[in-house]
Chain A
Amino acid sequence: MLKQTNYLTKVYGLPEGWMLAAYEREARGYQAARKALTTMSPADVITEAKKANIRGRGGAGFPMGVKWSFMRPHPTKPAYLVINADEGEPGTHKDRTLMELNPHACIEGCIIGCYAIGAHAAYIYVRDELHLSKARLWGAIKEAKAKGYLGKNPFGKDYPVEVYVHTGAGAYICGEETSLLNSLEGKRGEPRLKPPFPAQAGAFGCPTTVNNLETIAAVPTAFNLGCEEFSKLSSIHHLNDGGVRLFGVNGHVKKPGVYECCVGLTLRELVYDLGGGLLDDKALHSIIPGGSSTPVLRADDIVDAPDEKSPLHAWHGKSVLDVPLGVDTFRNMGTMLGTCCATVMAEGTDPVACFHNLMQFYRHESCGQCTPCREGSGWLLRIAEKLMDGTCSMEELNTLHDVANGIMGNTICAFGEGTAMPALGYLKKFRKDFEAYVKGERTANDARLTVSNVWGQS
């Protein structure tokens, strides 16, 4: 159901909308943090937060309130809140808008989060390339400190909270939470084995909660509205998927961008109503629903959920484009909701070229720590390159299954799945296109990715 809102985005278009004055004037700035710190206990904050049904916005969709409740006070060690703003999943461009245009929501969320989990310091891990985002966050921290919202006595409460911005140095893998923690500690960004989970031993060996930036930025809105009311804004509130979130759309649409809507929007609404439809009014070819690690959907895919217990049963026999974008609905469709930023491909786009492009990405970003991922990502890219060169045999194409399955479940972190799943997804959904390359019916000259070319070359 399409219902646009502007809780998080109200200040987006305003002159100096990223400054404290605009945030306080337009978005009830820092009222939620004030209320939480001065009138509620940390346990109350967590109980209330659970009612918001905020599913982690970074892609995994874990319920935020539940994650907070895993934190237990340690007799000697401090606790930390770490915010993942290492946005780098291809197709994902939402967190950057929050940092640049509404940084105070991120900071206020950190204050509430720190108080709830018993932390006195929050680190926002921002990828180094986002220089404007870092500057805006530091600016917001400075303003909040000057007002007494951050520091030794936020809102007069004897509960010190400090927020710091930490930068990476260009590694996609640092968006994986344990890799991010290693990177924060000044190490190579290689993922850690779990357990121990961050709630037991996270940053600097201390209890840590890692939340996505959009997740934490949604917290003040949820508390201002009342967390249950916030959750009910979603049309799939009954699936414990609540509130509002940022939906991105990119690729071959007329109006790419980031739109704030109630959870429960469908892909059709995202592509046609918000995205303005496809370039040159072409037909839809395929959609990657939430970042490149989520397997691709064909425009003609139909929901197959005859089981009445399936959360998808209500949409059995309907187009995948009409299913509400939710964590559980999409997981049951053989893909994932991911970051809720859809990449749209128009008719005429070559799916094998898309596969080739993405395999280059995964090959480049594999951290090299575990063998299945390090070797497997290279192998998948070699198959993609051979397809493009016209030298891939049918037998080699079939090994793609084995290679991808050899990665899945055999690596320390989910990057392995993130590489294998889209590879298998492309092969499964577009087998005929892959075979056309093997049979020589198609060559690299047909590997078209753009709708129109304004650059004067091939």
Chain B
Amino acid sequence: MPFALTPERERELAEILTRYPTKMAACIPALHLCQEQHGYIDDDVVAWVSLRLDLPPAHVKGVVTFYTLFNQHKVGKHQLWVCRTLPCALRGAGEMLEYCEKKLGIKAGETTPDGKITLRTAECLASCGTAPMMQVDKDYHENLTPADVDKILERLQRS
């Protein structure tokens, strides 16, 4: 079935369009709404967004491939981003990432076999004063210890 936003998200998109003088400006917000619903951006989504916003599909595809946060492939139910950049690395982010990899049995960039968790590294998440940290879906978890990480991973695996 071709992709379409749910009526609720379509209403949200209609409101977003009122904020800008052009339809094109809603491209990134629209893609976020689509990804929220579909999990990732495939060619069906690109086609829908380009029709909805009167944009060439190549433009939409170009935007999707430019930005790190748009998934071009199916990902796990939960996204776990470990910040790896210097200020976090100074506080043990490298070791924390290895710890997560060992606990989950996957490498950064991979998804657990049950499809629950995708583990990735992130570049600076503006949380340098509370390092090490990770982002789990929409939430930041800061000043992490091994016990904190154990709790987070257990919760995700149970969910």
Contacts and interface: CB of A to CB of B under 8 A. Distances in A.
Interface of A: 78, 87-93, 95-96, 127-132, 164, 166-172, 183-190, 204, 248-252, 256-258, 288, 292, 341, 343, 345, 349, 354, 357-358, 360-361, 364-365, 367, 449-451, 453-458
Contacts of B119: none
A212 B34 CA distance: 29
Nearest to B137: A131
A90 B86 contact: yes
Given A93-B129, A167-B32, A449-B89, 5 more contacts: A187-B24, A204-B21, A343-B90, A349-B90, A361-B85
B92 interface: yes
Interface residues of B, number: 53
Contacts of B124: 88-92, 172, 292, 361
A93 B87 CA distance: 10
Contact of A92 (B21, B70, B98, B126): B126
25 contacts: A87-B126, A90-B123, A91-B87, A92-B128, A129-B81, A169-B32, A169-B69, A170-B68, A171-B67, A185-B25, A186-B22, A188-B62, A188-B63, A190-B66, A204-B22, A251-B87, A251-B90, A256-B129, A258-B129, A341-B128, A358-B86, A367-B66, A453-B95, A455-B92, A457-B99
Interface stretch (B6-14, B139-147, B151-159): B139-147
A78 B22 CA distance: 13
Interface in B30-61: 31-32, 53, 55, 59
B73 interface: no
A172 B90 CA distance: 20
Given A88-B123, A183-B28, A249 B95 contact: no
Nearest to A204: B21
Contacts of B146: 454-456
Contact of A186 (B63, B91, B92, B94): B63
Nearest to A130: B126
Given A169-B31, A183-B28, A186-B24, A131 B139 contact: yes
Contact of B86 (A131, A172, A189, A343): A343
B99 A129 contact: no
Contacts of B86: 90-91, 251, 288, 292, 343, 354, 357-358, 361, 449
B126 A252 contact: no
Q: Which of A129, A257, A360 has the most CB of B within 10 A?
A: A129
B112 interface: no
Q: Which 3 A-B pairs have the closest CB atoms?
A: A186-B27, A169-B67, A170-B69
Given A170-B69, A250-B129, A457 B28 contact: no
Nearest to B125: A129
Nearest to A450: B92
Contacts of A354: 86
A96 B127 contact: yes
Interface of B: 19-22, 24-29, 31-32, 53, 55, 59, 62-63, 66-70, 81, 84-87, 89-92, 94-96, 98-99, 102, 122-131, 135, 138-140, 145-146
Looking at A130, A184, A367, the one whose CB has the most chain B CB atoms below 10 A away is: A130
A367 B81 CA distance: 21
Contacts, number: 175
A451 B127 CA distance: 19
Nearest to A174: B67
A449 B122 CA distance: 18
A183 B24 CA distance: 10
Nearest to B66: A188
Contacts of A257: 129-130
A454 B92 contact: yes
Contacts of A186: 22, 24-28, 53, 55, 63
Contacts of B140: 132
Nearest to A128: B69
A391 to B, nearest CB: 21
A252 B90 contact: yes
A345 B124 CA distance: 17
A344 to B, nearest CB: 8
Q: Which of B24, B89, B90 neighbours the largest number of chain A CB atoms within 10 Å of its CB?
A: B90
Given A167-B32, A169-B70, A365 B123 contact: yes
B127 A455 contact: no
A288 B27 CA distance: 37
B14 to A, nearest CB: 15
Nearest to B64: A169
Contacts of A188: 62-63, 66
Contact of B131 (A78, A166, A189, A250): A250
A164 B63 contact: no
